[in-house]
Amino acid sequence: MVKKFLSLQWRQFSRSAAFQQKLIAKIFIGLIALYFIGVFTLMGIGAFYGIKKVSPDMDPFISVNNVLVYWVLVDLVLRFFMQQLPVLDIKPLLILPIKKRISVNFLLAKGLFSFFNVLPLFFYVPFTIVLLINGYDVSGTLLWFVAMLLITCSTNFVNFLINKNNTYFALILGVLATFVLLAYFRVFDVSPYVGSFLYGIYTTYYYALIPLLLFGLFYYLNYKYLMANFYLDGAISKKVKEVQSTDLSFLNRFGAMAPFLKNDLKMIWRNKRPKQVVFFSLFFVGYGLFFFTNSVYEEQYWIKPFVGMFITGGFLMTFGQNVPSWDSEYYKLMMSQNIKYRTYLESKWLLMVVATAIAMLLSLPYIYFGKEILLIVLGAGLFNMGLNAFVVLLGGVFNKTPIKLNDKAKAFSNTQAFSATMLIIALPKMLLPIIIFYIPYVISGSVNIGVVSLGVAGLLGVIFRNQIFKFIEKMYQKEKYKTIAAYNTKN
Amino acid sequence: MISIQNLSKTYNGTTVLNIDTIEIPKGQSFGLVGNNGAGKTTLFSLLLDLISPSTGVIKSNDITVSESEEWKPFTSAFIDESFLIGYLTAEEYFYFIGELRGCNKADVDALLAQFSDFFHDEILGQKKYLRDMSKGNQKKAGIVASFIGDPKVIILDEPFANLDPTTQIRLKKIIKELSENREVTVLVSSHDLLHVTEVCERIVVLNKGQVVKDLATSEATLKELEAFFAG
C-alpha cells in the first residue's frame, strides 16, 4: 500500500506544473533552491569557526544553541505564510478501500518531505560534522542532531495545526507573543533558558526525551485532528464561512472603473493568495532599513533610488506583477462581457497608484535618515506611479500563468510566473529609476536635481497615459486568445 | 442576427470545426446537439471571440466578432464556471454584471424578482460565496446573470446539465418565454435531445465539426434525432 502511495506521489511530483515549465523557469527555481542550500551549508560549516574567531573564549556550540530559538520562531512564521499543507491531495482516496489510519499517517509523513524540512538539514549536518571534527562528544552531538531534527519536524506539525485550527492558532500566537513581549521589555528572556536546555541535550542525554515527546505530542494532535475530520465536509474541504457583504459604493465616483475597483478589493480581501501577496508588499516598506542603517551604502548614491523603488513599489512588484492573472479564474467572463479592455487596465493602474501613494505615506518616517533619503524615496514613488506601473502592466501581457486565488502559494512554486520575457520586462523597472536619478545627479552634483528628474519622468508618464494605455491595450488584444487558452488549462 | 461563413477551427492540423454557412435570424431559438467533441463549445467560443477562427467569419448583427468589440453590449453567455466570480456572493455577482451592462441595483433586483421560482430560495440571501455553492446552484446563478442587461443574443452551453428536474422544467419555460417576443436570439446546446426539441424551433446537429442536420423542429424531430444518434 505504501508503495502505491509512493508511486502516486512520484507521479504527482514529476508531472506537476512546476516540472513542465519552460527550461528557464526550471533553472531559475533551481538556482534559488541552490542558493538557499548553499547559504545554509556555508552557515553550517562556518558558524562554528566564525563565532570562535569573533569571541574566542565562548563555546560556539553554546552560542548557536542560544540563538536557535529565534530560528525556530522565524521558521514557524515563514512556514505559516509559505508552506503548502498536503491536505487536498488525499481526496480521491476517501472511498477507496484503504484504511483511514494509513492514509492519515501517510499524509502526515508526506508533509515531512517539504523543502522547509529538508533545508535545515543542510545546516545541521555540516554543523554536526564540524562539531565532531572538533572533538565534541560523539554520542552527545549525534543526540543533539537528532533532537534538532525532531524540533524541526515538530515545527512542521505545529504549523499544520495552527493553519487548520483557530484555537491552536490563537493559543500558540498568544504564547509566542507573550515571550516576545517579555523579552522585548526585558522582563524575562526565555532564549538563554531554551539555549541552555538545548545545550543540555548534549551534556545530559535524557533531555532529548523532551523534543521526542513534543514531536510525539504534535504528531498525535495532528493525527487525532485529521482522523476526526477525514470527511469531505471536514478539514479536507475548505471551510464555508458566513459572508458579510461589504458596501463599497463610495468607490462609485470612479465611474466606469468603479465595478472593477470594487471587485479587486473584494478579490484581495476574500482570497488567500492575493491577501498573502498584499501582506508581503507591506514588508517592502521596511526594505530601506537594511540599506540606510548600513554605512557602506552611505556614499553609494546610485543604489538609493533603487531602494526607494522597492520601498514604495511593494504592491507594484507583488500584485501588479501578476496582472491579469488575478482574474484568470473568470477570464472568459471578462473577455466576453461588456467590458472595454482599456477600463479594465485603467482600474488596475489606479489601484497601483493608490497603493504606491499609501506606501509613500508610510515611508515618511524615513526622514529619520535625513531629508535627502526621504526625497529620494518619494521621487522613486512618483516614478513608480507614473512609469513603473505601466511597465508592470506591459509585463502582464506576457503573463500566462493562471492563479488559483484561494490556494496559498507553495514555497518555491511561487515563481511560476517567471519566464524569460518576464525577467526581461522586470529589468527596466529596477534599472530605470537608477539611470534617471544617477545621470542628472552625477552631471549636476545635486541630489535634488536627481529627485526632480525622477518626479518629472513619473509626471510625464501620467500626462501621456492616454497614448501609453492605447499601446498597452493593443498588446493585450493581440495576446488575448493565447492568454484565454493558457488560463483555461488546469494545472 | 448571426451569420456564419466558411468557419473552421484547426488545432495542430486537426480540424475540429468546419461550417460552410449558418444563418440565424433574429429572435430564433437555436439548438445545437452533438456528441462529445462534435464542436459545440468550440462554436460558442468562436461566437464569443474567445478563440480565433482559422478561416471564415462570424457576424453578429453585422459586426465581425473577431475584429470589433461592438457585439459585447448586446451579447451575453454562460459557457462554464469560468463565467462566475467565485469570491462574490450571488447578489454581488449579479450587481457586478449589472454595472457592466448599465443596469443599476433596482433594475437588477426587478429582473431577479422574476426568477424567484427558478432560484428556489437557494441563490439569493445565502451569505455564501459562489465558489462554495453546489454545481447546480452555480449554474442557476450563471444562467440568470446572462439575462441581465437586456441582451439580444444569449448563448448557453449545456444549460440543463447539473440541474435538478424541477429547475430543468422551469428553465425550459424561461427559454421559451425569452424567444416568444422575437427580440432575443437564444442559442442553446445540450446532450438532452428531449429538452432541445421542446425549447428550440431549430436544431442543428454537429458531428466531428460538421453540420450533418439542420431541422425545423416538428413532432417528428425527436424521433429523427434519436434515430441519428442511435445509428
ipTM for the whole complex: 0.87
Residues of A in contact with B65 (CB under 8 A): none
Does B82 contact A488 at a Cβ distance shorter than 8 Å? yes
**Reduced to 3 states, what is the DSSP secondary structure of residue A105?**
helix
Give me the CATH code for the B2-230 domain, please: 3.40.50.300
**Is B4 in a helix, a strand, or coil?**
strand
| Beta-sheet pairing, B29-33 with B55-60 | unpaired
A83 SS3 class: coil
What is the CA B99 to chain-centroid distance, rounded?
21
> pLDDT at position A417, please?
44
CB A472 within 8 A of CB A348: no
Local confidence pLDDT in tens for the 491 residues of chain A? 677 777 877 776 666 554 555 566 667 767 777 888 898 899 888 888 888 888 888 888 888 888 888 888 888 877 876 676 665 455 676 677 777 788 788 878 878 877 788 888 999 999 999 989 888 888 889 999 999 999 999 999 988 888 777 777 788 888 888 887 887 777 777 778 888 888 888 888 888 889 999 999 999 998 888 887 776 655 444 455 667 667 777 888 888 888 889 899 999 988 888 887 888 788 888 878 777 877 777 778 888 888 898 899 889 888 888 888 899 889 999 988 888 888 899 999 999 999 999 999 999 999 988 888 899 999 999 999 989 999 889 888 877 777 878 765 443 344 444 455 566 667 788 888 888 888 888 888 888 888 999 999 999 999 999 999 999 999 998 888 988 888 887 54
* Set of cell numbers at residue A86: 498536503
For chain B, how many residues are written?
Answer: 231
**Inter-chain residue contact A339 with B84, CB threshold 8 Å:** no
Q: Helices then strands (H, E): number in chain B?
A: 8, 10
So what's the pLDDT on residue A91?
65
Q: Which DSSP category does A231 fall into? A: S
| Grid coordinates of A263 | 471587485
Which pLDDT belongs to residue A189? 79
pLDDT at residue A15 in the model: 67
Contact B131 A332 (CB under 8 A): no
B47 has pLDDT over 90: yes
The SS3 of residue B109 is helix
Look at phi and psi of residue B229 and say left if phi exceeds 0, alpha if psi is from -120 to 50, else beta: alpha
Q: Which residue of A has its CA nearest to B48?
A: A336
CA angle B143, B144, B145 (to 5 degrees): 90
A vs B: CB pairs below 8 A? 87
pLDDT score at A416: 43
Per-residue pLDDT at B50 exceeds 60:
yes
Q: How far is CA B32 from CA B8, B27, B29, B160, B187, in A?
A: 17, 16, 10, 13, 8
pLDDT in tens, B72-117: 999 999 998 889 999 999 999 999 999 888 888 999 999 999 998 8
Q: Is B42 on the interface with A (CB under 8 A)?
A: no
Q: Would you tell me which residues 209-228 of chain B have a C-beta closer than 8 angstroms to some C-beta of chain A?
A: none
The predicted pLDDT at position A150 comes to 92
Tell me how close the Cα of A240 comes to any Cα of chain B, in angstroms.
7
Cα–Cα dist B65/B44, whole Å: 12
* Complete edge-to-edge strand list for the sheet that includes strand B153-157: B75-78, B153-157, B185-190, B29-33, B202-207, B210-216
Q: Residue ranges of the domains in chain A? A: 16-228, 249-488
Tell me how far apart the alpha carbons of residues A315 and B164 are, in angstroms, rounded to a whole number: 45
Please report the pLDDT score of residue A415 as a whole number.
Answer: 40
Buried b (16+ CB within 10 A) or exposed e, A156-175: bbbbbbbbbbeebeeebeee
B59: exposed, middle or buried (C-beta count within 10 Å: 0-12, 13-18, 19+)? middle
The pLDDT of residue A422: 62
Q: Collect all residues of chain B within an 8 Å Cβ-Cβ radius of residue A333.
A: 82-85
Output the pLDDT for position A407: 67
- pLDDT attached to residue A237: 47
Show contacts of A187-196: CB within 8 Å, 24+ apart. A190/A69, A191/A66, A191/A67, A191/A69, A191/A70, A192/A66, A194/A65, A194/A66, A194/A68, A194/A69, A195/A62, A195/A65, A195/A66, A195/A67, A195/A68, A195/A69, A196/A62, A196/A65
CA nearest neighbour of A145 among A68, A49, A219, A220: A68
Q: What is the CA radius of gyration of chain B?
A: 17
CA distances from A173 to A73, A176, A179, A295 (A): 11, 5, 10, 36
CB-CB neighbours of A219 under 10 Å = 19
CB atoms A332 and B50 under 8 Å: yes
Q: What is chain B's mean pLDDT, rounded?
A: 92
Least CB-CB distance to A338: which of B86, B88, B101? B101
- Tell me which amino acid residue B213 is: K
CB contact under 8 A, A240 and B132: yes
Q: Domain spans of chain B?
A: 2-230
Q: Which of A337, A406, A488 to mutate to test the interface with B (most CBs of B within 10 A)?
A: A337
Q: What is the pLDDT of residue A464?
A: 92
- State how far the Cα of A155 lies from the Cα of B126, in Å rounded to an integer: 39
Structure-block grid coordinates of residue A182: 517579555
